[in-house]
Structure 1
């Protein structure tokens, strides 16, 4: 029967086979049935996996429909039987499956639509590689073309999509343990489709595709609910922070914007001194630095007299595409009179987009306190305006309320207060002009005889002179305090910059290049070079360089006799030179530390060489003398005139000499190869080569102990055949030596998109994980007490592999043992 409604579709989406989609679907079926829902299994593909079969439990299963095709019997979903049963929920595995010819629909997803149209809820599964829009991408990643696909819209229209996720390492472990494929398929799968890189890329495809689907769902939700307002989502990039309470809002908004595109950088920039904002405690700045880094960004502090210019210069210096800035906290009146930093940034930004962010403190003036530099143009304009307006306004007010000469002392106080106000805003000279104008106004309007610049009372003369002196003194003190405040701001900015430099060194950015880049960034210089010379007569050479701009003005800052800084760009103020010199001194220390580290590295190399020599002497005393002793004994036996040997004994001694000679040759060959590698004397002749000219020769001595699976149609590789032959031979020799008696070593080869992979798998004791990091170092016997070698085989193989552009790695063999994986680039794919 039908319910009159369309059924709901739930899709379990996975990045690759084996992540557990079917298991999760069955788990949901059990949960629904426990809640009283009528659930049946329409079709489930277990692929013989024990855990999946066990999970089915006692769930009701609809028998499959049998279809005959070319003499074979295939089973498919029996849609009519499910419709007749009419459950509330039906489980249908593998949505992208192609039905057998003769079925009602060519694709299984069309069968699912019939069930949904009948009002039956369907729970299904699909892998991301089966989505039609991703077919080309999946083929480019894995080299495999997916023939079974499902239209993206079918999955997008699902009422619920559950992402079933496993990390590549977890999935490969499941594969190695036999939880996904049969044992004979494991090695081939791990070396082809289930490579870590493939699984990582497929996982990212699944996450990105699902993120797009979430965006679609959000758009539909807003449309259905008639939501017209902007909902912050994402974009990009330099966040201009003041250190005020709105900083956290700006940083988090910038982080959301930066998350939109992969690889986007988030940079927070704080300018000292701040424009009209109070001093920010170091603890607060440190907290915001931590917040920026936790959001995936970096925090930068730059010095600038003008905040908008400093922010824009920084943004241009880092090639920013967007500046995120907050709405000014200043009052509307102040913004109307003097403008705001955000508006100035937008004016100066040019081609850089400006994203203006509002916040709770916008326009409130909260926490804002005027603190202009005495040299600021805005201050000078405001000062001269108040120098004219205050005396005029006071005069008009006092004339309205009386011109009695007895009120002259109170008038003097009013005008003195006006002079102080002008000094606070405009500094010394506007205040002095105000005091002189106030003196003239008081004389003209409020001292007898009025209307003339004449004073007939000695007391009035004294009062006016004292007024001018006091006004000038107060203005001087206020101006001096403003200048001291400016100097304190600059000192704090310099201290903050040097502290940031120290932090960068302590955090590991202890390179001359990092310091030069920070110097160019902090002072907005077009080009900065750190140069050094060996002595006074030697030419200067560039040690570190940042920037690419050309500028006529070049400032030279000497660090010492052997080091100097060249800064191209704006004229460097004298006050900034001290900070630059501090940067230079730090760079000199870094260079000295680098020289000491190089010496320490050379000493370490010498120590390692000496250690190798000691180990070699110890090994030679036994491993090289053993075959020599055997050869000497056999030769003595053959040459002895006192012993009559029959043909069989002579053959035995001759074979003993041959075996010991071969062992000795291999030992000496490995020693010579190791010596050549350590001396850098290996010169590979890379060319296109076929594995047919490498593998047979390399494995010939152990052919009877190998199981070879090397396809004849493998592509050409880019390598040195002779050297790569030595690599293969050493790896195979090591595997044979550690295999149990009678057990054969499996040698397989397969092609990937850009390389060919050789896998040599033995079933020996294997190697513990903690020893795999050192097994490719010389003289590592890995608890091997046999006398068959010096422990050089894998060290030589690793070194020669690196020389010919190949890679060698060790993995555990499923079931026990060690698998050596050799990866060599295909011809035309090598870098």
Structure 2
């Protein structure tokens, strides 16, 4: 069965007419022959809305009794049984009455859509989950009913229903939205012009984002790569150099001149152009960009210009801002820079080249890679020492041979020495050794000797070829060393990140993950800092997790810091990190930031689930308490009524009726007391004093509490039972509540029983009515026939708070039977 289509009328504020628009659409579709049914409409007493619903088939609402009041709600079962073509359901974010089929109305609508029924519904922008906190800041009102954005975003059609603030306020003063008694307060609070204007802008921006998603999906489905200038998007290319702040501010000024534009920045990780720069500078530029309303992106690619253009086309960018080249003239002649290649391939995208202080001047040199990177200073020094020793020794040996070895043989030997130097130290020592070997050969082995003059041309050629070959060998060796260094570095980084990700997958706590980072980088202390803005606007920092000796408590106390988010920083002390180590440190920090965010979301979800479960328990408790109280008060009222109408009845009958009324009132008082105790217990306000308690003292207090009826309770207690670990007063209250419940369900000729059995380390107390054989406390633990009442719930929660358990233990024929297990001071043999 095909899923139904969802159409949403999105209101910028209450009263703009979204329900009226939904009904008007329903009337239009009905006039075209569609099968339209009103599942639920909330006219809120508005005459025009009610008139628009006339003529549409309307399903009866489901009636729900909650806390003694009658509520009406959407009848999902009736709507599914009717199976219309189109259903009109108002207020998508509405919360259903407790114990309903679904907790939220949007979940009801999901069921209807899954059944193949189209749904037209309404929604106010303040009920969207992502905008909830923003709406609260604007209006000062916290919306209790929220809707996941994904539900609205998945709608097949969304229409914005809006009115200018002045028109909406005029409707309010005419009484078309709220009753007269609420108009003045609403106009001075929620419906202020500023509030309504801000809500309109929120609705328009949210809807614009959804339209943008649809546009991107359409472009992808139809293979459209050329930018469509539906909105100006300015992309900044960042290298991580000092010019980045200049480029960001320049792009922000361009964006500010075009309302509704979007600012983005891209850093390409590669071996050329935009990959140069320092990670700390990139972090500062990212903070600056986000403070100006932009978003930062990073990607890895071989070609920087190609990556820039690919990203620009994917994001429908209309303008690109790049810095002027930092390359010198010679380098630019050898190969076109990123700016020139971007301009050549930009097509319809405008490219701005911005000058800055870091741009190359007329004497700028070709940027060369650091000679030590990948080789190490020790190997560089060893290569220079090798050249300083090996070349003079070889020269002395060749001179001593006095022509026994020709120039070609001598150059081959020199070449061998240069290869050895290149293998040890790479390019630069090899070039130095090649030049020195050429000079030595010319001075000592080429005629005229002991001079740098060369008489024959073939000797010049031989020396030139020798120097070229030596340079090539040195270059190849240096390149291999650098690649080996990079490969080892990449493997090391992958292992570090993999270990950290594995620890996260295994659910390690944040302090353990922080300790991993501290150990990997040999730091003294590391901490994850979270910024909290005080009411006065002052930024305060607190340590979410730390490791090591005296972890930094503020970013300015750290020697190394990585900004993970606007309010999240990974700070460390101990030693400075080079660019490569810092980049890995920031990557580890990003994973830590994600772990912290996921943990916070999980804690919030758990708290929400706990609160929801508590609310459900409280609602169920109050519902049962209401039923029991009504039954008790009805009994008292009945007894008093009979007393009034039977004034001349015998004294014995009058006494019986009075006793019945008094018993009912006392039972009602116990129920109210039980509710009070349960409320304090669930709220954590009920104190417990656990200590060894003699069971005989508790049972005596129970019989006193039960009054005359307690004398019929049968006690089956072994001699000298061990003391239990409990709170005497609360254990007395629990047993009294259970015994009173058992007395009410026992026949007159079969009194209830309280039986005690000693188990290893525990004491079993079983309370049962007199309907069946009390048996031994260890009898079969079947499910009792009765549902748990207030007395039983109070007893169970009190016993569990004292470390015990309370379970049903119904034997055949028993309507009420429970078993309590409590820990004892010292176990005795089972009896």
TM-score by length of 1: 0.44
Return the structure number with greater relative CO, CA threshold 8 A, min gap 6: 1
